[in-house]
Amino acid sequence: MTRLLIIGPPGSGKGTQAVQIAKHFRIPTVSTGEIFRINVSHETPLGVEAAKYLDDGAFVPDHLTNALVKDRLLDADLQPGFLLDGYPRTAPQIMELDNILASQGHRLDAVVELRAPDSELEQRMLRRAKEQGRKDDTIDVFRHRLDLYHRETHEVVAVYAGRGILVSVDGSGDPSAITTRAIAAVEKFLATRVSP
């Protein structure tokens, strides 16, 4: 019964780490990007509305993102636990997540924050752009995304740190080493929170 959230800057390998951590704890990964894609491809009422924003390259508004995430979190396969990736990103979304979980008698157990120096993240992005031949992965675009991340998630990180459930993990170096560090840090943290 583990409910986790993972936060990390672009280039931190958050998606890869989310999958590995979730696999270790035997819980499903819940990615907001995946929720959007599934709802859009199945043309659900929420998906049709979200597509209007996604097609224009705009952010999906909080009220719609909240509704899509709530819909997914109520699914039976997530009752034993989950790892959330990409949500919440704002203070209002934190409140909504609290409400969704409280309505089920649950709460988040831990928030995993991947940290790495901006310079290392830039090098990873440049390597990925070269390997994948992506023209849109320029330094300027990446730095803009990184700046948005720092501004957007600062508040989220601060809230969870204030609640005492933030587990910061060194996201530098080899991906398998990061996975090992992250799992060890989460297990150690969860062990301290077990009720007597």
What is the pLDDT, as a whole number, of residue 125? Answer: 85
Flag whether pLDDT at 196 surpasses 60. no
Binding residues for ATP, as ranges, are 11-16, 128, 173
Tokens of 120: 């290392």
Segment 42-52, tens digit of pLDDT: 999 989 998 88
What is the pLDDT, as a whole number, of residue 175? Answer: 92
Q: Is residue 89 part of a domain?
A: yes
CATH number, position 7: 3.40.50.300
Nearest one of 79, 111, 109, 83 to 194, comparing CA atoms: 109
Segment 86-112, tens digit of pLDDT: 899 888 999 999 999 999 999 999 999
Tokens of 140: 């300027």
pLDDT bin (cut points 50, 70, 90) of residue 134 is low
Flag whether pLDDT at 127 surpasses 90. no
What is the pLDDT, as a whole number, of residue 6? Answer: 97
Binding residues for AMP, as ranges, are 32, 37, 58-60, 86-89, 93, 134, 145
Higher pLDDT, 27 or 142: 27
Q: At what angle do helices 45-55 and 62-73 cross, to 10 degrees?
A: 140
Q: Is residue 37 part of a domain?
A: yes
Binding residues, as ranges, are 11-16, 32, 37, 58-60, 86-89, 93, 128, 134, 145, 173
pLDDT bin (cut points 50, 70, 90) of residue 183 is very high
Domain that holds residue 164: 2-190
Q: Tell me the percentage of the chain whose pLDDT exceeds 90.
A: 61
* Number of domain units in the chain: 1
Flag whether pLDDT at 156 surpasses 50. yes
**DSSP H helices in the chain:** 14-25, 32-41, 45-55, 62-73, 91-103, 118-132, 139-162, 175-193
Nearest one of 3, 4, 20 to 181, comparing CA atoms: 20
Flag whether pLDDT at 33 surpasses 80. yes
Q: Is residue 196 part of a domain?
A: no
What is the pLDDT, as a whole number, of residue 59? Answer: 74
What is the pLDDT, as a whole number, of residue 32? Answer: 87
* Average pLDDT rounded to a whole number, residues 174-184: 95
Q: Is 36 exposed, middle or buried (0-12, 13-18, 19+ CB in 10 A)?
A: buried
Q: At what angle do helices 32-41 and 45-55 cross, to 10 degrees?
A: 110
Other CB atoms within 10 Å distance of the CB of residue 193: 10
pLDDT bin (cut points 50, 70, 90) of residue 182 is very high
